[in-house]
Amino acid sequence: MSVLAVDVERELGTFKLTARFEAAGGVTGMFGPSGSGKTTIANMIAGLLTPDRGSIALDDRVLFDAADRINVPPHRRGIGYVFQEGRLFPHLSVRQNLDYGRRMSGRAANPKEFERIVTLLEIGHLVDRRPRLLSGGERQRVAIGRALLMHPHLLLLDEPLASLGSSHKREILPYLTRLRDDAHVPMIYVSHNAAELRRIATSVVRLDAGQVVAAGGLDLLNDAEADALG
Amino acid sequence: MFHLSPDEWTAVLLSLRISIVATVFALPFGIAVAWVLARTQFYGKALLDGIAHLPLVLPPVVTGYLLLISFGRKGLIGAFLEEHFGLVFSFRWTGAALACGVMGFPLMVRPIRLALEAIDRRLEDAGATLGASRPLVFLTITLPLALPGVIAGLMLCFARALGEFGATITFVSNIPGETQTISAAIYTLLQVPGGDAKAAGLVLVAIVLALTAVIASEFFARRAGMRFQGE
């Protein structure tokens, strides 16, 4: 059953993006070279960018429909977003960052759940620090925890490892696979790195120059490498 | 040498009251105008920018005159406020506070605007995806991140209000106990032969107050800025 249905068009200057795909549960890898429109699509799913035409639906809930003039604002979409650069709030402690989504939605504190996520990501020793003092890998783990603690219906991860060195990449990947197997939140994982996606994704949507060129299983990653070699 | 007469104390306390009231009431308008200037694009924005800066470049006497004809009892706004809210500005300390607030306004707007422009908007997007509505994003992310600029604006407005002379004396005159601020009291003393010695006490108070304001704002702005750096 499809969880997310995307059918959007958007022109940005001379760049034209036309994307139509569906994503089921598990981890959908959005794969393509840089400039192929991956982040643009992620921003449209999150509500940070408005498509010119088309529709977006999540769990049978319409988030955007140009024809029906429906455009749910980002704060009501319930979609967690882990950005490439983390985007932790510098004026808040790690704990306050993690708590932000809960506070904004007015939910009561749930120390058990907080503890579970903090343990899963092994960030317990960081909660009283300021984001500025964290390493890149620690920052991304906190960003993932922050997005998870808002109870997202869907988690968007936009190149969450791209800003990290190779040793930090190796540090984060186990957490992400653990997340996939334990958290039961469908994820869209944006990356240009086939090796990374092979570790984490369960299905793949391939993009090139603003177009969805293929959608299917992990074998699409091999084709891409063959294409690149060819 | 340092001795203030009861009348001079009155002027000092009045000055402080006028400056604090002027700054506090100017703040919401200052943040609103700074936000509009930093974040929006519209036809006539240059005009708003110009009007916000006007008190800085106009002769204070002209600002005082404009206040007199608009906020005086017979002025359009003044008559309206008196009739509907019983609020009178002319020849009252409230009028002095209005004049000081208007004169300090451009100095308040500028640092707040710069601080707002320097904020990474992507942090606000992140806040929105975490469930914060636009007002909540403003209150929990934008405003705290702009805090050093807000503090600088408050201090500059307060200091300007404390030193205001021309617009105030034009608008609400120089009435001891009602509109006679430190500056006006010094001016009055200097009109009398030999008054310069008498004015020395008030001059010293003016210097101490101005210095305190600068040091305090530096301290608070640094502390606010430090929160982003670490513990």
Q: What is the CATH number of the domain that holds A19?
A: 3.40.50.300
Domains of chain B with CATH codes: 6-229 (1.10.3720.10)
Predicted pLDDT of residue B229: 56
Predicted pLDDT of residue B17: 96
B137 chain-A contacts, CB cut-off 8 A: 75
- The range of the structural domain enclosing residue A38 comes to 4-87+154-229
* Residue A30 DSSP label: E
- Report yes or no: B130 at the A interface, CB cutoff 8 Å: yes
Structural domains of chain A, count = 1
Is residue A92 included in any domain, yes or no? no
A148 chain-B contacts, CB cut-off 8 A: none
Q: What is the pLDDT of residues A66-108, one digit of tens each?
A: 999 999 999 999 999 999 988 999 999 999 999 999 999 888 9
Predicted pLDDT of residue B231: 40
Is residue A189 included in any domain, yes or no? yes
Is residue A12 included in any domain, yes or no? yes
ipTM above 0.85, yes or no: yes
Of B125, B134, B227, the CB nearest to A48: B125
Instruction: Point out which residues pair with A62 in neighbouring strands.
Output: A57
Predicted pLDDT of residue A230: 41
Minimal C-alpha gap between B146 and chain A (Å): 10
Minimal C-alpha gap between B227 and chain A (Å): 6
Helix (H, G, I), strand (E, B), or coil: what is residue B191? coil
All residues at 6 or more sequence positions from B83 whose CB lies less than 8 Å from its CB, including other chains: none
Residues in chain B: 231
Whole-angstrom CA distances from B66 to B47, B170, B173, B214 are 18, 10, 14, 30
Predicted pLDDT of residue B223: 80
* pLDDT (tens place) for every residue of chain B, 231 residues total: 567 888 899 999 999 999 999 999 999 999 999 999 999 999 999 999 999 999 999 999 999 999 999 999 889 999 999 999 999 998 999 999 999 999 999 999 999 999 999 999 999 999 999 999 999 999 999 999 999 999 999 999 999 999 999 999 999 999 999 999 999 999 999 999 988 888 999 999 999 998 998 888 888 878 877 766 544
Is residue A55 included in any domain, yes or no? yes
Is residue A167 included in any domain, yes or no? yes
Quick one: CA dihedral B211, B213, B216, B222, positive or negative? negative
pTM of the model: 0.87
